[in-house]
Structure 1
Amino acid sequence: MLVRPRRLVSAALALCASALLLTACAPAVALKPAADANDPRCADVIVHLPDSIAGKAKRETNAQATGAWGDPAVVLLRCGVPPIGPTTKPCITVNDIDWVLENDPASPSLRYITFGRTPATEVVIAHGKNGVADASVLPALADAIGAIPQQKNEKCRGTSDITSPTGVPTPVPTPTTTQSG
């Protein structure tokens, strides 16, 4: 009868060793936590993150309130970044979440920050060869980001929404588009 427990122990040890080897193959993605990563609303975002985005599996990260997808990581997320104020940078609305594109759209990585939500969330998306399209990333994050409520009167606005003190619409170089997905 002692043979059976020994076999179980041996099998359990082999299984644990296999799990350790598999874990070592995909190390945690190293990220720096945002200044307000400890905000409880960031915890709500993180627990609602999808298991995959654009066919890329979610990865473990080493920092609070962060997420990463792909191996190598092509989508990085940090909750708790400082909110941005009014800007002339491109602002788009995707599934009721407003995003401001912070850098040149021709860059190899796009950096978006939520607008009108505190704390804000930053997403960096590698695009082009071996990357993913932002059109497949931003809709996938909408449910998680929606855990942080939109502040009243802080929405993406188009040129038709802005008026000068004389009541005449003022041109603003920030296109507003809405995407559903």
Structure 2
Amino acid sequence: MISRRRAPLVAALPAAAALVATTACAPTIGVAAAPDAADPECAAVVLALPDALDEDLPRVDTNSQATAAWGAPGAAVTLRCGVEPPGPSAQCQSVESANGTTVDWIVATDDEGTWSFTTYGRDPAVEVVVPPAVMEDHSSSFVIDFAGAVSAVEAERTCQ
């Protein structure tokens, strides 16, 4: 027989087991921490990141400080705060969000079709990597969703 003092604990066990089972199935994406991931401004960036991109790329857990990911293992958009700030580049593009916030990004693509976007004029810099598997079904327009978060790091320079 269960004592009255232990009854609430016993009643909570099925709910706790369900929570553990649910979280055990959630994917964790491996993302290498950037050299300056411990910069306090990166914490502000990560806390302000969106819960989803393009409505069908939910945010998932990562295994490193100052990182984030959206999607599924092998096909996830990843973000790292604390990367080396890039110098001026012809690939610098200004992206304005609906609320008027502008973020300058250095945009690059490699031979395999992976896109990278690195904030320009902000230190620490933020890097977003979009693999070909995501680009098959999405445009890169969701980088606009990062404007509020990366604006936690003050812009010191602009593309122009």
TM-score range, shorter chain: 0.7 to 0.9
- Name stretches of at least 5 consecutive residues in structure 1 with no aligned partner: 158-181
What does residue 155 of structure 1 align with? Answer: 158
Answer yes or no: is the 8 Å Cα contact 1:74–1:132 preserved in 2: no
Q: How many residues align?
A: 151
Post-superposition Cα deviations, 1:71-110, rounded to whole Å, max 9, x if no partner, equal 235210000000011223x221112100011224x74321
Q: Which whole-Å CA distance do the structure 2 matches of 1:12 and 1:5 have between them?
A: 13
Give 3-state SS (helix, strand or coil) of 2:109's partner: coil
SS at match of 2:147: helix
Q: Which amino acid aligns with 2:82?
A: G
8 Å CA contact 1:125–1:132 kept in 2: the answer is no
Which structure shows the bigger proportion of residues in strand conformation? 2
The alignment status of 1:67 with 2:68, answered yes or no, reads yes
Q: Distance in 2 between matches of 1:40 and 1:23?
A: 28
Q: CA deviation at 1:155?
A: 1.3
* Aligned-partner residue type, residue 23 of structure 1: T
1:35 is matched with 35
Contact kept? 2:27, 2:72, Cα under 8 Å: no
User: 1:128 is matched with which residue?
Assistant: 135
Bigger radius of gyration, 1 or 2?
1
How far apart in 1 are the matches of 2:66 and 2:78?
Answer: 11
Which amino acid letter does the alignment assign opposite residue 97 of structure 1? Answer: V
Identical aligned pairs, as a percentage?
39
Aligned-partner residue type, residue 19 of structure 1: L
Cα distance between partner residues in 2 of 1:125 and 1:108: 9
Q: What is the CA distance between 1:7 and its match in structure 2?
A: 4.9
Give the Cα separation in 2 of the matches to 1:122 and 1:155: 16
Tell me the alpha carbon deviations over residues 99-139 of structure 1, each in whole angstroms, 9 at most, x when there is no partner. Answer: 011224x743211111000011000113333x53211x211
Counterpart CA distance in 1 for 2:2 and 2:10 is 12
Letter in 1 for 2:66: A
Where structure 2 has 5 or more consecutive residues not aligned to the other structure, the ranges are 97-101
Map 1:88-99 onto structure 2 (within 5 A).
Answer: 88=90, 90-95=91-96, 96-99=102-105
The TM-score, its normalising length taken from structure 1, stands at 0.75
User: TM-score, with normalisation over the residues of structure 2?
Assistant: 0.84
The alpha-carbon deviation at position 29 of structure 1 amounts to 1.3
Structure 1 runs of 4+ off > 4 angstroms?
Answer: 1-7
* Match among 79, 82, 86 for residue 81 of structure 2: 79
